Structure 1
Amino acid sequence: MSETEQHQAAIEPGSDIPAEELERLTDDIVSAIKTVYDPEIPVDIYELGLIYRVEIDDDRNIEVDMTLTAPGCPVAGEMPIWVDNAVSSVMGVGAVKVNMVFDPPWTPERMSEEAKVALNWY
């Protein structure tokens, strides 16, 4: 599975949303999440692989499971709020819930190729 497919596999759509609208919502949610950066790393949190799951239910409510690069991250309390604010700004979404999870633990293998290039991670 390519890294793009891995990211796409994290999006769990509601079944009653028309395909065209679901595609737009998905693209807009991912774009919104990509505006959130870990202040210590110059790569967005989506490309870093910190977003584990995005679920879109039939009412267009969004639930996001995310993690941190380290549990002791200084912005651990703020980053979920940033993600909530970003996703909430997407036109057409309902309620947004962001869950902080640490299982499985984040590893650098979750980073996209884009993130690895940006960080010279080889």
Structure 2
Amino acid sequence: MFIQTEAMADPARLKFLPGREVLADGVLDLRDMSEAAVSPLAERLFSIPEVSGVSFAKDSIIVTKGSGEWPRLKPAILAAIMEHFLSGAPLVRAGATAGDQPSRSNRAADEAARIDRIREALRQVIDPELGYNIVDLGFVYDVAVEEGGVVRITMTTTTPGCPATGYLKKGAGESVSAVAGVEFVEVKLTHEPRWTPEMMSPEAKAIFGIGDGGGR
């Protein structure tokens, strides 16, 4: 059995590809030994002291380390994965109930927290003309997070011919790429709907004097 590995943007995470199906559907994220009780493989992995997180997807296993160096940890992780598949044990134990696994609400909360981190990263991108961040200016229309650490950003600029367009797109991509767990970023530019100052956050409107009774 040959198991490949792939580096990830977050140096604390490493992807293992066993060359066969791991999980039939969806993604299963496990964060400690108590959650690992639903999976024989997760228990093997969490028995390695430095392992702090395990995520199963269709054809991959992502391991998060809390400490240690990958050259020393990889042999133990590879052995655990190989032993599991050679044993013929299921990934998830028969009879494990939905309550034994991380709930959908927990996963939704995790995704919401990830989007919040992405938006905070995007706040580091400053429009050179207005001198304010693109999130509170209302330039970021959508942030979508997909399986495998894929993030798709839909954004705009003040006008279709804005000279800072390239700078802002590049800045958005680079800032989001630095967020832990993000593997690929696509930044899509749109001018539908056209941006207006009313799209600014209340904080930005206050800075620019836009609001009830205000003007710029």
| Alignment TM-score > 0.5, same fold | yes
Pick aligned residue for 1:54 from 121, 140, 143: 143
The answer to whether structure 1 residue 81 and structure 2 residue 170 are counterparts is: yes
Tell me which structure has the larger Cα radius of gyration: 2
Whose strand proportion is higher, 1 or 2?
Answer: 2
* Paired position in structure 1 for 2:50: none
Contact 1:68 1:106 (8 Å CA) reproduced: yes
The answer to whether structure 1 residue 42 and structure 2 residue 131 are counterparts is: yes
Alignment of 1:1-122 (within 5 A): 16=27, 18-121=107-210, 122=214
* Paired position in structure 2 for 1:11: none
Using the alignment, how far apart are the partners of 1:42 and 1:77 within structure 2? Answer: 16
* Paired position in structure 1 for 2:68: none
Using the alignment, how far apart are the partners of 1:74 and 1:45 within structure 2? Answer: 15
Question: How far is 1:60 from its partner?
Answer: 2.2
Using the alignment, how far apart are the partners of 1:24 and 1:42 within structure 2? Answer: 27
Using the alignment, how far apart are the partners of 2:109 and 2:202 within structure 1? Answer: 28
Question: How far is 1:20 from its partner?
Answer: 4.2
User: Normalised by the size of structure 2, how large is the TM-score?
Assistant: 0.47
Q: Deviations over 1:14-46 (max 9, x none)?
A: x85723432331121010001111101122110
Using the alignment, how far apart are the partners of 2:109 and 2:192 within structure 1? Answer: 33
User: Normalised by the size of structure 1, how large is the TM-score?
Assistant: 0.81
Q: State percent identity of aligned pairs.
A: 35
Give the total of aligned pairs: 108
Gaps of 5+ in 1: 1-14
Using the alignment, how far apart are the partners of 2:114 and 2:139 within structure 1? Answer: 20
Q: State the 4+ residue runs in structure 1 displaced beyond 2 angstroms.
A: 15-21
Gaps of 5+ in 2: 1-25, 30-106
